[in-house]
Structure 1
């Protein structure tokens, strides 16, 4: 019910490119969000997802996040996980376009899961070095096999809990960070604060499921008001923030 109410509010306040007066955001929206090019890579994204949907193997899950609204057991089938928990094909295509648009060379993902979004991050730009963190060893082992099967070579998967992995990161900064692993207010804010100093002027942070719960919505509001954040974009399912000092501080709500 919370998400339904929030989505109605989102529709009432949202706009498309015609309501955007920032040249930077306007170009991003028109050239990336609304890019309807049928990229060849889309077939690879679709095949990766189909391979998971056709895998009935079950694995034991260690869930370190906010839990699941779908599963009652930690023994879960890959195909059911891919259907209910993985990024949709529409969102992976968008993630691919975002990477293609900004061309990050160092990307960090919190929450590898089955690697659906990770693949999009990796294929968006060949020079992108993707570091992805997964807390569950069984998922990590399975997804590593998936990456090898699809010959994705620019991904480094770390199997550790987020807080430990983040404290050990070697990179001083990241061009893109995708937060997709713990839909919890306190954890989201903790990881954001741990990574804020690794952002530079042209970095982009993307937060998944910002309206997952009232607490996640609160976290998103706090993140938007951080002194280093100049631009935020709310697409309902994702929240994006930028740190461009040349931009006036402004919040955008964009329909996709």
Structure 2
């Protein structure tokens, strides 16, 4: 499904703003979500590591270096094998923006997940936010472009990060293999493939490894109507007890003993 144009995104955002609750946590009647929003999602506290990660992004944005994509699947992360792509594009367009990186950091720092999964490493900015937030956890991150993953791996080494396992593979190939290797996933960040049907397929694969305490973050839920439709299918699933729509991304929880609720909340620039 094609990416939405600027006008369509704007109209979608106007609809979101009409339905979402105001910043500050007003109107959130779930104690769990109120605490999460006011103490984790909605805060604007800076951490020393944020500066270091964003310095890495700025370094690439200023660079004029290009790399030749070595994708192992068709159209992974919006590019094809043999295509020349500039590092500045990967850092400014493909990688998660700073506000989403900070959200991933705070969520991982708050929940302290032991086993984490990321679908879509890109140049490793999101991976660093997740892994450095929770050094006691272990992050599996999958990327389908060997050249791009190589850039990320070098940066992981320079940051001396020991709790990331980068995997060069397709999601379809690697996810079933990981199901045999891990007992559970406490924290999952789904990015890197803006296809609504694939999103549902990936969720179906990992679902049996999710627990009551697992957290799943889905990026670009409004990238296309196809992605938004699939997001709506996910939040309707009976095992999803709490879902939070932050416009760009969404968060899913599976906690027992909580009445099924869905929230549209403001975060970052939205």
Q: 1:36 aligns with which of 41, 44, 50?
A: 44
Q: In structure 2, how many angstroms separate the alpha carbons of the residues matched to 1:146 and 1:218?
A: 36
Partner of 2:35: 27
Partner of 1:14: 20
Q: Normalization by structure 2: what TM-score?
A: 0.89
Structure 2 contact 76–144 (Cα < 8 Å) conserved: no
Partner of 1:153: helix, strand, or coil?
coil
Q: In structure 2, how many angstroms separate the alpha carbons of the residues matched to 1:161 and 1:178?
A: 15
CA shift in 2, pair 1:152/1:52, >3 Å:
farther
Q: Superposition pairs for residues 97-116 of structure 1, below 5 Å?
A: 97-116=106-125
Partner of 1:81: 90
Is 1:158 paired with 2:167? yes
Structure 2 contact 76–145 (Cα < 8 Å) conserved: no
CA shift in 2, pair 1:40/1:77, >3 Å:
same
Count of aligned pairs between the two proteins:
254
Q: In structure 2, how many angstroms separate the alpha carbons of the residues matched to 1:66 and 1:136?
A: 7
Q: Superposition pairs for residues 46-195 of structure 1, below 5 Å?
A: 46-61=54-69, 62=71, 64-65=74-75, 68=78, 74-169=83-178, 170-195=181-206
Q: In structure 2, how many angstroms separate the alpha carbons of the residues matched to 1:111 and 1:231?
A: 24
CA shift in 2, pair 1:160/1:66, >3 Å:
closer
Deviation, 1:66, is 7.0
Structure 1 contact 64–182 (Cα < 8 Å) conserved: no
Structure 1 contact 45–89 (Cα < 8 Å) conserved: no
Q: In structure 2, how many angstroms separate the alpha carbons of the residues matched to 1:66 and 1:11?
A: 32
Partner of 1:243: 254
In structure 1, stretches of 5+ residues that fail to align are: none
Q: In structure 2, how many angstroms separate the alpha carbons of the residues matched to 1:67 and 1:36?
A: 29
Q: In structure 2, how many angstroms separate the alpha carbons of the residues matched to 1:3 and 1:48?
A: 29
